[in-house]
Amino acid sequence: MFSLYEGLLQARWEQEPFVQLKDFLIEHDRADLAQRFSDYQDAINALKHGRGRSYNRLLKRADNLDFQVKREGEGFIREGDISEVDSLIDVDERFVRHCAELIAQTVRLLREKIPNQFLIGTLPLG
């Protein structure tokens, strides 16, 4: 979902579209949304690449996230759940829905602040 959105944003911002999106959100008094977007972007990067900068940023903010991050040395996110997939991030239906909601929120703000743009007008999010 995030990769597709990044590709669509490149039609407007060719260089680092997510960086520019977060700057746009901050410029329009939505630093809270920019931070949540960054958190989910870091989570997705940690899922794709494992431990690294994104994962380390998540560990620092772990108590302020609305998803769970496996901390250093933890075997499971939910101790005793033998069906749990070995992952650094607890990806459940809620996580996926929050990703979709974040994208929809940013699209609504882009549509409001930059009307009549090709990309924004073609995204099927309300």
Using 70 as the pLDDT threshold, list the residues of the chain that sit under it.
Answer: 73-87, 117-126
Alpha carbon distances (Å) from 18 to 58, 75, 112, 116? 17, 32, 18, 20
Supply the pLDDT for residue 43. Answer: 95
- Give the ranges where 1-126 is alpha helix by DSSP (H): 2-9, 17-27, 31-49, 53-61, 93-113, 118-122
Task: Provide the sign of the torsion angle of the four alpha carbons 52, 44, 39, 114, taken in this order.
Answer: positive
Q: Show Cβ contacts of residue 113 under 8 Å, excluding neighbours closer than 6 positions.
A: 24, 28
Supply the pLDDT for residue 90. Answer: 83
